[in-house]
Amino acid sequence: MLETRINLAAFRHNIQTIKNIVGKTVSLLPVIKAEAYGHGMPRLAREALKLGAPMLGVGTIEEGVPLRQNKIAAPVLLLDGIFPEQAEDAVKYHLTPVVFSLETAKILDKIGKKKGRKISVHLKFDTGMSRLGFTLAETKRVLALIAKMKNIHVEGLMTHLASSADHQSPQTEHQLRRFDAVIAEAKRAGLKPTYIHSANSGAILNFKKSHYNMVRPGITLYGAPPVEIEGNKFREVMTVTSRLVIVKEIPQGEGVGYGATYITPRAKKIGVVMGGYADGVNRLLSNKGSVVVKGKVVPILGVVCMDNFMVDLSKAPTAKPGDDVILLGGGHDETSAEKWAELTGTISYEIFCRIGMGPRIKRTYVNG
């Protein structure tokens, strides 16, 4: 069994660092979808709320309801919106939908009329991501129609920035100009949203003008910012460990693992580590990745298996069965999420989600 240790002090540090960047007049909407990127949603939700977050961001209603079942009463924004048949449950559990279709807005308006109260929503506009959101062409008509819905409270206006991690890309500035036009049109329609937000982690660090009065930090909360800014040091929150199952001497010329993709050039001491691709240890780390044993960075040998993988213990000759192995994190560059992402052709987001949500992983919290 693998174990993920979640450093709550590091999580708190990262939130405070973001608060220092955006200033006191800008609220934080911590994004804790996908089980807080594999870090554990309910616990990190509580930590974020303790530090003053007015609202939490999840993806779907299936993520929002468990927060209520965990007795978290704070506002929860459903960033991926809802299907029409989910509207009743969204209202029942006091979840705030992101709305990007008139059909959904009309259904929520009817439910609000039936229940005798206004339903809060955030309206999302597609300014260049080409994903979720009302199109710019329908902006004026949509805002005018929703402004007339007596049982809808437009609490927020939002968009999503596609290239904010690249401060040289002109796309972000282009999207912000479009979003400013949406905001102006909303004002003309008589809407007075409490929150206006566009900034994800990259925009928080790269584009101050994107902050408006709320920002949506995601990956930066977990210590893997998409861009490093001088003086703003974020701390890794997740460390993943396992143990050596067995240690053995392998003679020269022997194959290691499925397909014998590694042949020992000389006699070697190898160790078998518990955990494999079923636990989120990507198979693309085969013969490329590294782990830490006895404080030494040691390479993965052969193909990562479903339940385990092999490592070269030449640099850790005193290692024995039962010894701890750091797979991810631990303050080592070679076991950082960014390094895993580089080696496997993906992004740190996916690394955290895959390994942090494995069914055979024990999650513990430290520095609570």
Please report how the helices 139-147 and 171-188 are oriented relative to each other, as an axis angle in degrees rounded to 10: 40
Contact of 123 with 108, CB cutoff 8 Å: no
Cα distance from N-terminal residue to C-terminal residue, the chain: 23
Place of tokens 């013969």: 287
Q: How far apart are CA 135 and CA 127, in angstroms?
A: 7
| CB within 8 Å of 256: residues ≥ 6 apart | 250, 262, 263, 264, 270, 301, 302, 310
Please state, as a whole number, how many other Cβ atoms lie within 10 Å of the Cβ of residue 16. 11
The catalytic residue among 114, 258, 320, 362 is 258
3-state secondary structure of 271: strand
Phi, psi dihedral angles at 325 (to 5 degrees): -130, 125
Determine how many CB atoms are found less than 10 A away from the CB of residue 286. Answer: 23
Element housing 16 (H / E): helix 8-22
Give the span between the Cα atoms of 41 and 243, in whole angstroms: 26
Nearest by Cα to 218 from 229, 202, 231: 202
* Longest CA–CA separation in the chain, Å: 79
Using alpha carbons only, how large is the chain's radius of gyration in Å?
24
The whole-angstrom separation of Cα 153 and Cα 150 is: 8
Residue of 33, 124, 268, 339 marked active site = 33
Concerning whether 33 is annotated as a catalytic residue, the answer is yes
* Residues 237, 242, 248, 249, Cα dihedral to 10°: -10
Q: Any idea which residues carry the catalytic annotation?
A: 33, 258
